Amino acid sequence: MVKFSSIMKGTQEQEEKKELSKKTEPAREISAPPFEKAQWPPIPKQTPEEQKKVSLPQDAAFETDIVGTSAWKLYQQVVDFMRSVVTRIGANEKIRREEFVDHVRSLAEEISHNKEHFVSIITAETPDNYIIGHQVDVCILAIQMGIELGYGDEKLLELGCGALIFDIGMLKVLDIVKQQKKLGENELDEVRRHPEYGAAILKQLTDMPQSVIDIALQHHERPDGKGYPRGLKGREISEFSKIISIADVYIALTHSRPERRRLSPHDAIKELLQNARYFSPTVLRSLLSVISIYPIGTWVELNSHDIGRVVRLNAGQALRPAVELVCDHHGQPLEKRSVVDLMENPQLYITSVVDNANIEKWGLEKLVASKA
């Protein structure tokens, strides 16, 4: 088990610090296998419901807090754009990098003003097209991480463009991935080719720079050389790819898949900390700065035995967020709800995270949704 304190303090190598703080260097050319147009599968048909605007998450509290905000409206616009991108790629139509830049720039500007809204959006269970919704969520998280890492405008735009289309190769293997069964070895081998498919598609159908193509090709590589498709190690992996790789895993863990239920944001962070060896320590710390060990929406119990939901994070104080107190430790609603900022109440602290069984048993989400 990796201790949270050791990740936050860290003893990062000087070379990696220099690598993540310096300006982007021209990426070395990485070849991708040819991708013949005839090999491109038909785009899955969408139901009338899927063709509508982004559906509301299955979370009434989210609807109350987020829907109607400028962040939510922009999220809808970017998802609509990515729907058109998938359709156009299926028709072998060229897509200009500048189209992505415009949307990434809008996201970066909105995130700088409404970070907490976007944290809530990307951790909600939005029942949208898997590939499209996943890439947009990863893009939002990657931009937030880039801001934490001190990226300038140009570097942030380049990272965001790569994040918005990094997993496009999954469309080639989507029929395999959606199967609700354990995959065979041949099927797994084909799925592991999706980074190569994605890189080849970007080379042929976009004018994206090599750094963006590298993200598509390298986002499953790992520092210890045990990733795929090429087993790259450490500094062989681009810094953008290191950011996308951990954002990709976090978003996947916090959203349902055919073979499993989603993890809570807190449990997803625990999973990442337990597997910290697979990620860059500097990049992992930037994720923790954005999401926190107690992400917004996490249900926690305080030493006062009151139970509440994390509603706001405090920069640099991951263990002391603001908590809306809702009920006691037996699940009985409090007569009067209140929001306590643990930064301003040093006598209070979080003792534990409420498990999913009790969240459902006590109907905590419904209690929040019933707030006047």
Q: What SS3 string covers 358-369?
A: HHHHHCHHHHHH
Q: What is the DSSP letter of 336?
A: E
Find, among 273, 318, 271, the residue nearest to 296 by Cα: 318
Q: At 309, is the pLDDT very low, low, confident or very high (cuts 50, 70, 90)? A: very high
How many separate helices (H) and strands (E) can be counted in the chain?
Answer: 17, 5
**What whole-number distance in Å separates Cα of residue 32 and Cα of residue 172?**
15
- Lowest-pLDDT range, 110-119, 173-182, 216-225? 173-182
Instruction: Choose from 45-54, 128-137, 179-188, 214-223 the range with maximum mean pLDDT.
Output: 214-223
pLDDT of 41 reads: 44
Is residue 60 pLDDT above 90, yes or no? Answer: no
Q: What is the DSSP letter of 27?
A: P
Is residue 51 pLDDT above 70, yes or no? Answer: no
Is residue 129 pLDDT above 80, yes or no? Answer: no
Is residue 46 pLDDT above 50, yes or no? Answer: no
Is residue 159 pLDDT above 60, yes or no? Answer: yes
**What whole-number distance in Å separates Cα of residue 233 and Cα of residue 237?**
6
Give the bridge partners for 257, in sequence order. 260
Find, among 163, 195, 177, the residue nearest to 33 by Cα: 195
| 14-21 helix and 281-291 helix, angle to the nearest 10 degrees | 60
How many other CB atoms are there within 10 angstroms of residue 167's CB atom? 23
pLDDT of 187 reads: 92
Find, among 288, 144, 175, 169, the residue nearest to 228 by Cα: 169
Q: Which residue has the higher pLDDT, 328 or 264?
A: 328
- Lowest-pLDDT range, 5-19, 90-104, 195-209, 350-364? 5-19
Instruction: Choose from 7-21, 37-51, 131-145 the range with maximum mean pLDDT.
Output: 131-145
Is residue 7 pLDDT above 90, yes or no? Answer: no
pLDDT of 208 reads: 96
Q: Region 229-248: what's the mean pLDDT?
A: 96
Q: Which residue has the higher pLDDT, 39 or 152?
A: 152
- Tokens standing for residue 31: 């070849």
Q: Which residue has the higher pLDDT, 355 or 181?
A: 355
pLDDT of 54 reads: 45
Q: Region 341-361: what's the mean pLDDT?
A: 91
b/e burial code for range 184-211 (CB count within 10 A of at least 16 → b): eeebeebbebbbbbbbbbbbbbbebbbb
pLDDT of 322 reads: 94
Half-sphere exposure at residue 330, Cβ-oriented, CA atoms within 13 angstroms? 2
**What whole-number distance in Å separates Cα of residue 1 and Cα of residue 271?**
9
Is residue 371 pLDDT above 90, yes or no? Answer: no
Helix spans in the chain (H): 4-9, 14-21, 60-66, 70-90, 97-113, 115-123, 130-148, 153-165, 174-177, 185-191, 194-205, 210-218, 239-253, 265-274, 281-291, 356-362, 364-369
Sheet of strand 322-328: strand arrangement: 333-341, 322-328, 306-312, 299-302, 350-353
Mean pLDDT of the chain: 82
Q: What is the DSSP letter of 237?
A: S
